[in-house]
Structure 1
Amino acid sequence: MADIWLMRHAAYEGHRAGYHAPHEAPLTVEGRDQARRSLPLPEGITAIVTSPIPRARQTATLVAHLTGLPIVATSGLLAEWRAPSIVLGRTAETYPQAYRAWRARRLANPSLHCEDGESLTDLHIRARRCAAFLHLTAHRYGPLLAVSHTLLLGVLTHLTEGPAAFTTAARMPWQFAERRLFTVLQPTAPPLQSSPR
């Protein structure tokens, strides 16, 4: 099986601890520099896939431009955990009570949603599908770089923990533009059909 390298997007505007970034937040100048400094890529990578969220897509596009590698797919399977819209652009000290209540119950009931947010169970199911998608894409294109987001990457690399992987992911964030080799050996869910961008 071809290697799959996972990479977190680079720094984006407005980032701070506990902040739920709006999806449209673009890379900063420092973020673009981080993407450049992430090179060279591990030997053998032949293609890139990315989340559609701008900070990941911009990171992938810059890496593709600098390396000449093609972006062969943009997939929502690689998108960050979908936080409820009531917390987007907010930090922990300004979280609404509904979100605080959900956080207190989310591990006991991982299928629980907070308004329009993604439940921990839904995120875990999507991460399983993402693993299958990555393996299928690597089988088709060869060694792969997948650009995504810290919580999704954390869940993806701790699939065996089930929905509780969200907690592990939150405790062990990835640094901006950090890469890790994906070591899940086999896909854990049937792949979804995904058309190249």
Structure 2
Amino acid sequence: MVDIWLMRHGAYEGHRPGHHAPFDATLTSQGRDQIRHSLPLPDGTEAIVTSPLPRARQTAELIADLTQLPIIATSALLAEWRAPSIVLNHSPDTYPSAYLEWRERRLSQPSLRCGDGESLTDLHTRAGHCVEFLQRTAHAHGNLLAVSHKLLLGVVTRREEGPAAFINAATEQWPFAERRPLRTPVAPQRDGATR
């Protein structure tokens, strides 16, 4: 079996519970310390893949520097849920009415988008593609560490719940720099056989 480990990035500049992170947020010194304390990685980890967002990319780069493991891919499949830009830098008590209306309808209409945001169906579909990407990459390179973001990781680990996985992922605790195994078994390919 090939193992895939999912890791949330470290703490980032401007983090405030209940706020959607800006896409360009970078790691703090606390975040870098969290990453250092998350080591060592599980035995046999051979490569790293990462989200392209700065806080995840910086997490992966620091791990690569400290472990000498290669970063073999940066994929938008691992990026965080794309919140609508109208909620960035807003707290729940200042969310615009359009976003609040979307939130009321998002479970009954999971394909509905709010502005330039990603729908729950979009996110769930991407999470499925993300798992396929991780499995293919693990087949080719061995045990992987995938660095990503709380909501995306939560949906990846709850794919069987469908688009509504978003709600549980949003409330689930996944501390910065914590690793969890992806519970989808990946059997190694032998002699060029396809699965």
TM-score by length of 1: 0.93
String of CA shifts for 1:61-100, please: whole Å, max 9, x gaps.
0000000000000000000000001111221111101001
Structure 2 contact 48–72 (Cα < 8 Å) conserved = yes
Once the two structures are TM-superposed, the CA of residue 168 in structure 1 deviates from its matched residue by 1.1
Larger Rg: 2
Q: Does structure 2 retain, via aligned residues, the 8 Å contact 1:154–1:173?
A: no
Q: Helix, strand or coil for the counterpart of 2:147?
A: strand
- Structure 1 counterpart of 2:55: 55
Moved over 2 A (4+): none
Q: Match for residue 110 of structure 2?
A: 110
Task: Give the corresponding residue for 2:92.
Answer: 92
The answer to whether the 8 A contact 1:5-1:145 is kept is yes
* Length, aligned pairs only: 186
Q: Distance in 1 between matches of 2:85 and 2:173?
A: 22
Alignment deviations for residues 103-146 of structure 1 (CA, whole Å, 9 cap, x no partner):
01100100000000000000000000000000000000000000
Q: Which runs of 5+ in 2 are unaligned?
A: 187-195
SS in 2 for 1:146: strand
State whether structure 2 residue 144 is matched by structure 1 residue 144: yes
Q: Which residue of 2 aligns with 1:8?
A: 8
RMSD between superposed Cα atoms in Å: 0.8
Amino acid at match of 1:181: P
TM-score normalised over the length of structure 2: 0.94
Distance 1:17 1:37 in 2: 22
Q: Does the CA-based 8 Å contact 2:51-2:147 persist in structure 1? A: yes
Relative to structure 2, which stretch is displaced further, 40-49 or 83-92? 83-92
Does the 8 Å contact 2:5/2:145 carry over to 1?
Answer: yes
Residue of structure 2 in register with 1:45 after alignment: 45
Query: What is aligned with 1:195?
Result: none
